[in-house]
Amino acid sequence: MKQYRFSISLALAVILIMADTDHAYGRSRAGSRNERKLPGLKTNTAKRTIELHELEKGGPGKDGIPSIEKPVFIEQKSAQKWLRPNEPVISLVINNESRAYPLQILIWHEIVNDTVAGVPVSVTFCPLCYSANVFDRRVNGRSYSLGVSGMLRHSDMVMYDRQTESLWQQITGEAIVGDMVGSKLKRIPAQIISFKQFRSAHKNGLVLSRKTGFRRNYGQNPYAGYDDISKSPFMYRGKKDGRLLPMEKVVTISMAGSDKAYPYSVTQKLQVINDKIADVPVVVFHADGAISALDKGRISSSRNIGSTGVFDRRVDGRTLSFRYSNGSFYDKQTASVWDITGQAVKGPLQGKKLTRIVHGDYFAFAWFAFKPETEIYQ
């Protein structure tokens, strides 16, 4: 497997230790798959939906990459001192309460356990898959706190909960080993946009502070050069889908058992795609805005990859169709202007908001590893 020369700090160097097949859990050097203990965890491995040898060491062990448990938030004006306008943030809005989680912080912690508008959430980001997923961390009325297990499966982060130490797949939200097997965390709509776009859409929105309780080189990318379509995924040994290059980014949607992927090579060109999935009229937006968090060693120097959003096209009982022109989104029915977050900012529909649809922006290999039957938009 091809190895990369990441510009990593000493603090994260161990994360990028290449694991060989002997480092898979449940398989000793003698080849036995009967091992049942996971180092540092009290997970009930008798309950599982996967084989333990599918789990691989991703570097440090449990909590070696520390999640943020008591997040501090600051006003946008204060964040402007260290967060550039084009830097990517995970934008989360729940009941009109908006927060931005900069990827320059998430890249070092991968999980933020937070409560937004009374909803316990886990904001997660797996750099190796570029997967930014937000989950409601309640299951059957009980709140769970998620942490980084130190393991990977198909190059994707495996999370654990501190209440039962069950293991959860970050890209799907499913419990894969432990007492919580059979449970799935509910995804909450969120999107990666630029800090500037967040400020424009959510003037009173708060920003996750660098005061995390940890000393990290925030603003630096420990995976420099990884976001490169010509390269190969790190620590991925699964099947390859020949339809797209493994490191091409895709916008993904899953609805009513249907999975669809929209390659960036298409969305960046078209910028608007009006589509229908499971009888739901949807629109995919892709506009200039956010830079990559995994390009240059200093994130603020990285290239622009744009921002995306996925929305239901129905407003007040009417289905809209959209187009993109001169840096703005327009609906064809009223010529109202819409922003990347799905808000009408000018025209007859000013003030209206499109319903956000859960979507992802992932490297293609990561999505296809878990959703191999995905239809690709042509």
Show the tokens assigned to 213. Answer: 């309780």
Amino acid of residue 28 = S
Residue-wise pLDDT for 40-99, tens only, equals 999 999 999 999 999 999 888 999 999 999 999 999 999 999 999 999 999 999 999 999
Question: Per-residue pLDDT for 11 more than 50?
Answer: no
Half-sphere exposure of 31 (CA within 13 A, CB side): 0
Amino acid of residue 170 = Q
Q: Backbone phi, then psi, for 370, in 5-degree steps?
A: -105, -20
Question: Which pLDDT value is given to residue 5?
Answer: 43
Cβ–Cβ contacts within 10 Å for residue 69, how many? 16
The region that residue 293 occupies, defined by phi over 0 for left and psi between -120 and 50 for alpha, beta otherwise, is: alpha
Question: Per-residue pLDDT for 14 more than 80?
Answer: no
Burial 146-167 (b: 16+ CB within 10 A, else e): bbbbbbbbbbbbbbbbeebbbb
Which tops the pLDDT comparison, 304 or 327? Answer: 304
Q: Write the DSSP assignment of 89-125 as a string of letters.
A: EEEEEETTEEEEEEHHHHHHH-EEEEEETTEEEEEEE
What CA–CA distance (Å, rounded) separates 204 from 61?
38
User: Tokens 């990285």 — which residue?
Assistant: 302
pTM of the model: 0.93
Question: Which pLDDT value is given to residue 16?
Answer: 44
Q: Which of 293, 270, 292 is nearest to 283 (CA)?
A: 270
Question: Per-residue pLDDT for 31 more than 50?
Answer: no
What CA–CA distance (Å, rounded) separates 47 from 42?
12
What CA–CA distance (Å, rounded) separates 277 from 255?
7
What CA–CA distance (Å, rounded) separates 104 from 122?
17
Q: How far is CA 199 from CA 80, 86, 107, 301, 360, in A?
A: 10, 11, 21, 20, 21
User: Tokens 């909960």 — which residue?
Assistant: 161
Question: Which pLDDT value is given to residue 37?
Answer: 83
Residue-wise pLDDT for 258-294, tens only, equals 999 999 999 999 999 999 999 999 999 999 999 999 9
Residue-wise pLDDT for 233-254, tens only, equals 999 999 999 999 999 999 999 9
Question: Which pLDDT value is given to residue 10?
Answer: 35
Residue-wise pLDDT for 153-171, tens only, equals 999 999 999 999 999 999 9
Question: Which pLDDT value is given to residue 4?
Answer: 45
| Contacting residues for 31 by C-beta, under 8 A, at least 6 apart | none
Under a CB-based contact definition with an 8 Å cutoff, are residues 235 and 228 in contact?
no
Residue-wise pLDDT for 35-53, tens only, equals 468 989 999 999 999 999 9
In the chain, the domains with their CATH numbers are 249-376 (2.102.10)
Show the tokens assigned to 14. Answer: 């161990």
Residue-wise pLDDT for 97-106, tens only, equals 999 999 999 9
Question: Which pLDDT value is given to residue 13?
Answer: 45
Question: Per-residue pLDDT for 25 more than 70?
Answer: no
Question: Per-residue pLDDT for 181 more than 50?
Answer: yes
| Contacting residues for 181 by C-beta, under 8 A, at least 6 apart | 47, 48, 49, 166, 175
Q: How far is CA 144 from CA 39, 63, 150, 173, in A?
A: 21, 16, 18, 13
Q: Distance from first CA to last CA of the chain, Å, rounded?
A: 30
Question: Which pLDDT value is given to residue 370?
Answer: 97
What CA–CA distance (Å, rounded) separates 114 from 71?
7
From the number of C-beta atoms within 10 Å of its C-beta (0-12, 13-18, 19+), residue 339 rates as buried
Question: Per-residue pLDDT for 2 more than 80?
Answer: no
What CA–CA distance (Å, rounded) separates 344 from 195?
19
